[in-house]
């Protein structure tokens, strides 16, 4: 990570609150422990929304009391806007849809505008706070639009994003009216993380279907930007939780619960939410008592349902259903001295929770969908291996991918739950101990802090090359800010300026013939050639370059350096292979693709053919380009030809058509001359030049994708001002030398 770069965490709410006495209290969630655990020794900022100005002021001014490195930065938001963004979209649209409960998802365009407005509010504050090279870690579905909003204003802020809920399958995600907007934003991240591989796979399916972007399970190349992808199953604060589970108070409570309960107790701890499958749990427990009569009187279910969104009708409907089911089961199987289901509808404190974990013979988790489910992990850590219980875990919870020693269940299969409960009841203690010991060992090695550290390490790695290898170079009137070693090279050496054409000297156009050199750029190049040699190295053909640089003192290299024309001379060839051995077949294949893809066409050159699909339907064009690329590479494997995909093109060219090869040849033509090269380019083909030049010059990438260049410009519009500044600088150096000689 860049030295002195700071970390900024972004979550819906800040990690601290204010109690009724005005004191700061630390949040109890695993995210708080995880992030504070990795950042207590370095300056960092935590941003979150706050609707109360008084609370915001306390958090902002007193956060350093918790830790001198910490700055809490509340982002002010009105209560009405917060409710629309949080309840109206986050909870009523994204939460149910991403958990496969689309029947509960409500989309309203006005509410989505509020969600967008809240995301913009947070993004603007991030841009105001962060500097180039700072790392911003955005958390969860509340801020799906933030990455793009930040990158649009400052592409040099590194963005990591972690989704704490499932990412749904493509058939579910496609129901979302704003699906492309969400995907385009997430595509701007430097690192995007998920709990589980299936979530990552679903995401890559969606960007392929809706953005036309191919990817692996580790990265996606989206235009000029590389999105790194990863799986990071979150954990709990294992050591601290284990210590708290072993306090005398918890042990005493656990023992009292043991004496008062049935011989074999099953525990359920869930928020009362439709995603948790509480009714499925009760159906499964009921099935166990019916299928295995010997369990009646021997086992009981303690279900704690933590209230949430109590005024929302669907949640009240769920509560009513659960009340009826509990009554039905207790009425069917209850005895004067036996209550099959103990149902608690309220929050419980941590000591009580840990004591229930320690007492329970089984933890039963029947989530329909769950990003991870930390209850499963908390139960494992709180258990005493000597008297170990059994974890029955829904295969639809992310934790199932981490806790392989749990008994996996399908929550919709009541018979399977019944059989699993019976298997746990009959399981030998030795097997219970082995299963629990394995899970504990895994979690003790992989804590919440490890999870956060792993993500941040990968985020640092993902951006290191981008931020270190290619730094923004000041433009306009800022030559005084150029690195001293660069200015020294410019002052002491003969200069050669090497320029790509499309995307460098001119902006990319939909049709190649529209990319015409401007009068301003022509005048500037004529001025520059008084102080340095200028080389234009382009993929264009000879005739086009002649038309654009007619009468100018510029050396031209056409078709990526296969042909060159020195000032005042005729064109010469560097081709030594047999172009005719592959050219007709490529032309035939490319023509067939131009016939099937609307608005695509073939550009003919002497040693290359280019299939353009800039104006074609985007997704269809990209798909066909991939097919064409594969077909040509397979068919021409033994021919002296290179096939590559570029920006909305597929090109087949002779092996001599290589800008790096041309630049090496140019350097070798005058080995004794002490030239310093200044090389500009925007495309993959220019990376060959950057690599060939190495330390012999200054390489400048136009655009934001990963590059071998030393410096970069954000876009083509910055090329002209930088060349103007270069002209002023070399003029100044020349005048100073003249004065010294005089």
User: Are the beta carbons of 414 and 287 closer than 8 angstroms?
Assistant: yes
What span, in angstroms and rounded, lies between the C-alpha atoms of 147 and 279?
A: 38
CA atoms within 13 A on the CB side of 301: 32
User: Are the beta carbons of 127 and 150 closer than 8 angstroms?
Assistant: yes
450's enclosing H/E stretch is helix 448-464
The phi, psi pair for 174, rounded to 5°, reads -70, -15
> Which one of 273, 361, 460, 500 is the catalytic residue?
500
Indicate if the alpha-carbon torsion angle 153, 154, 155, 161 is positive or negative.
negative
What span, in angstroms and rounded, lies between the C-alpha atoms of 663 and 741?
A: 34
DSSP 8-state assignment for residue 303: E
The phi, psi pair for 335, rounded to 5°, reads -135, 165
User: Are the beta carbons of 625 and 644 closer than 8 angstroms?
Assistant: no
Instruction: State the virtual CA torsion across 462, 465, 467, 473 in degrees, nearest 10.
Output: -150
Count of residues for the chain?
742
Instruction: State the virtual CA torsion across 324, 166, 401, 457 in degrees, nearest 10.
Output: -140
Instruction: State the virtual CA torsion across 236, 409, 306, 292 in degrees, nearest 10.
Output: -130
3-state secondary structure of 652: strand
Cα 227 → chain centroid: 6
Give 374-412 as a DSSP string: HHHHHHHHHS-GGG--EEEEETTBGGGGT-TTSEEE-TT
369: left (phi over 0), alpha (psi -120 to 50) or beta: beta
User: Are the beta carbons of 378 and 363 closer than 8 angstroms?
Assistant: no
- Beta bridge partners, 196, equal none
Is residue 500 part of the annotated active site? The answer reads yes
Cα 183 → chain centroid: 10
What span, in angstroms and rounded, lies between the C-alpha atoms of 84 and 116?
A: 10
Tokens 């019916």 appear where? 290
Angle at 397 between CA 394 and CA 401, to 5 degrees: 100
Tokens 């800008």 appear where? 659
What span, in angstroms and rounded, lies between the C-alpha atoms of 160 and 179?
A: 20
- Strand 601-604 with 70-76, pairing: unpaired
DSSP 8-state assignment for residue 156: T
Q: Which residues are catalytic?
A: 500
């Amino acid at each position: 990570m860049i030295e002195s770069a700071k970390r900024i965490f972004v979550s819906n709410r800040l990690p601290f609150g204010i109690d009724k006495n005005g004191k700061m209290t630390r949040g109890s969630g695993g995210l708080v422990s995880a992030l504070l655990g990795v950042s207590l020794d370095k300056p960092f900022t935590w941003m979150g929304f706050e609707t109360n100005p008084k609370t915001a002021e306390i958090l902002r001014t007193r956060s350093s009391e918790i830790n001198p490195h910490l700055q809490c930065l509340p982002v002010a938001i009105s209560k009405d806007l917060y409710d629309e963004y949080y309840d109206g979209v986050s909870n009523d649209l994204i939460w149910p849809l991403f958990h496969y409960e689309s029947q509960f998802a409500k989309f309203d365009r006005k509410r989505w505008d509020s969600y967008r407005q809240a995301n913009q509010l947070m993004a603007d504050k991030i841009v105001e706070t962060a500097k180039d090279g700072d790392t911003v870690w955005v958390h969860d579905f509340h801020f799906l639009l933030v990455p793009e909003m930040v990158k649009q204003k400052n592409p040099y802020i590194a963005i990591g994003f972690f989704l704490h809920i499932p990412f749904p399958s493509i058939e579910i995600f496609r129901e979302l009216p704003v699906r492309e907007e969400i995907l385009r934003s997430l595509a701007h991240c430097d690192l995007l993380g998920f709990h589980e591989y299936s979530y990552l796979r679903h995401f890559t399916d969606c960007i392929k279907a809706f953005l036309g972007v191919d990817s692996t399970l580790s990265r996606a190349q989206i235009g000029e930007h590389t999105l790194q992808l990863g799986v990071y199953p979150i954990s709990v604060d294992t050591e601290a939780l284990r210590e708290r589970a072993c306090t005398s108070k918890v042990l005493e409570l656990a023992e009292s619960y043991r004496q008062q309960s049935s011989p074999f107790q099953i525990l359920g701890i869930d928020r009362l939410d439709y995603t948790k499958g509480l009714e499925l749990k009760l159906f499964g427990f009921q099935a166990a008592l019916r299928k295995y009569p010997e369990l009646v009187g021997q086992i009981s279910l303690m279900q704690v349902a933590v209230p949430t969104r109590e005024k929302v009708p669907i949640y009240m409907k769920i509560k009513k259903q659960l009340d009826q089911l509990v009554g039905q089961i207790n009425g069917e199987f209850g005895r004067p001295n036996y209550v099959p289901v103990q149902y608690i509808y309220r929050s419980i404190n941590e000591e009580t929770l840990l004591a229930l974990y320690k007492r329970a013979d089984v933890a039963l988790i029947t989530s329909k969908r769950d990003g991870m489910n930390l209850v499963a992990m908390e139960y494992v850590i709180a258990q005493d291996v000597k008297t170990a219980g059994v974890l029955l875990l829904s295969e639809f919870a992310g934790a199932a991918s981490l806790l392989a020693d749990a008994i996996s269940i399908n929550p919709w299969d009541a018979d399977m739950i019944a059989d699993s409960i019976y298997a746990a009841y009959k399981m030998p203690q030795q097997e219970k101990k082995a299963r629990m010991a394995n899970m504990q060992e895994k979690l003790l090695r992989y804590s919440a802090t490890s999870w956060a550290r792993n993500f941040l390490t990968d985020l640092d790695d993902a951006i290191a090359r981008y931020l270190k290898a290619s730094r923004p170079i000041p433009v306009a009137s800022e030559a005084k800010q150029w690195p001293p070693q660069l200015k020294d090279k410019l002052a002491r050496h003969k200069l050669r300026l090497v320029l790509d054409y499309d995307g460098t000297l001119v902006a990319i156009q939909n049709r190649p013939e529209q990319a015409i050199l401007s009068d301003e750029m022509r005048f500037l190049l004529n001025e520059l050639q008084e102080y340095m040699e200028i080389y234009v190295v382009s993929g264009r053909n000879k005739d086009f370059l002649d038309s654009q640089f007619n009468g100018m003192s510029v050396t031209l290299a056409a078709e990526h350096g296969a042909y060159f024309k020195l000032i005042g001379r005729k064109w010469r060839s560097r081709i030594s292979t047999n172009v005719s051995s592959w050219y007709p077949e490529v032309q035939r294949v490319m023509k067939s693709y131009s016939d099937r893809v609307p608005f695509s066409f073939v550009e003919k050159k002497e040693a290359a053919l280019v299939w353009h699909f800039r104006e074609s339907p985007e997704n269809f064009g990209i798909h066909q380009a991939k097919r064409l690329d594969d077909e040509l590479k397979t068919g021409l494997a033994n021919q002296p030809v290179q096939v590559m995909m570029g920006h909305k093109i597929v090109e087949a060219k002779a092996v001599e058509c290589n800008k790096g090869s041309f630049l090496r040849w140019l350097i070798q033509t005058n080995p004794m001359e002490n030239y310093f090269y200044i090389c500009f380019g925007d495309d993959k083909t220019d990376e060959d030049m950057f690599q060939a030049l190495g330390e012999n010059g200054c390489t400048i990438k136009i655009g934001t994708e990963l590059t071998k260049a030393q410096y970069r410009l954000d876009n083509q519009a910055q090329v002209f001002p930088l060349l103007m500044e270069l002209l002023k600088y070399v003029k100044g150096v020349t005048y100073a030398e003249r004065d010294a000689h005089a």
